[in-house]
Amino acid sequence: MSPALRIARKEAGELVLGVRGQIWLAVTTAVLSGFSLLLVGSQELSLLDNAQVVYDMAGLVTALGALLAVIAGIDAIGGERERGSLLPLLLAPVPRGSILAGKLGGPVAAWGVMLALAAPYFWAVGSTGQNLVSGMVALLVLGTPVVLGFGFLGVALGAWMQSGRTALSVALTGLVLSASPLLLGPSLRQSAIGRMFDAVNPFSAALNGFDAVIIDSQGAFAQAGHAAVAVAWLALTAWAAAAAMRRVSR
């Protein structure tokens, strides 16, 4: 097994099977359950178009995934440094690139588990409507680079900043800003500033892609523009993480 895969397996095991991972999965399950119950049980929300419900669920899963990825990314470097367990890894005969690739194993595994966990909820709230399957494909295609990009961002911040807490505050601020399209109304997003923000914001790209696929019934693989923004985000954060990892010396 290559060192990157070995590290990835360790990271995934720690995140998914460890106490923190179990707590996170329980929280995610509770949030998805609560959200689903609201969507099907609330008199007002149950009047929502079925496609709108799937769209909201896709946005929520992406946001939860990004939050988990950024925390896992920071912990993979900054957290390990604070626990003193990073240095032995840096001193192992493993190239930095392999360590970085391995460290992404945690966010990848967590995202995989989250997608699997979310699938039955999608079915529960969207099985009677349109575009459920294509919506889930869009979540996989557009949500994955956005979420993994946040994982890389977490790694970069964890490596760059000496304090895990500072890295976490910066990352959460960035995440809230980029996820703000979930909170902003459509009219605000259609203003000049809103459009500019949407054009470069990976989170917006994913949401607009979900919108196009789930609500407007466009093909999931026809969202090249949105996918390009998400992939550019992934590439940018991967580059930042690689640059930050080269500077880590303890």
In the complex, the residues that contact another protein under the rule CB under 8 A are 1, 3, 6-7, 10, 14, 18-19, 80, 83-96, 249-250
Closest to 70 in 3D by CA, of 5, 161, 149: 149
219: amino acid identity, one letter: G
Minimum CB–partner distance for residue 183 and another protein (Å): 36
Q: How far is CA 35 from CA 58, 125, 151, 172, in A?
A: 12, 10, 25, 22
- Measured from the CB atom, the residue of 3 and 129 that comes closer to another protein is 3
Minimum CB–partner distance for residue 113 and another protein (Å): 18
Minimum CB–partner distance for residue 68 and another protein (Å): 18
Give just the sign of the alpha carbon dihedral 58, 59, 60, 63: positive
Closest to 203 in 3D by CA, of 107, 70, 28, 75: 70
3-state secondary structure of 109: helix
- Measured from the CB atom, the residue of 7 and 118 that comes closer to another protein is 7
Minimum CB–partner distance for residue 14 and another protein (Å): 7
Euclidean distance between CA atoms 90 and 106, whole angstroms:
18
Answer for the pair 69, 111: CB distance below 8 angstroms, yes or no. Answer: yes
- Measured from the CB atom, the residue of 94 and 117 that comes closer to another protein is 94
- Measured from the CB atom, the residue of 88 and 185 that comes closer to another protein is 88
Minimum CB–partner distance for residue 78 and another protein (Å): 13
> Which tokens hold the place of 134?
């294509």
- Measured from the CB atom, the residue of 97 and 120 that comes closer to another protein is 97
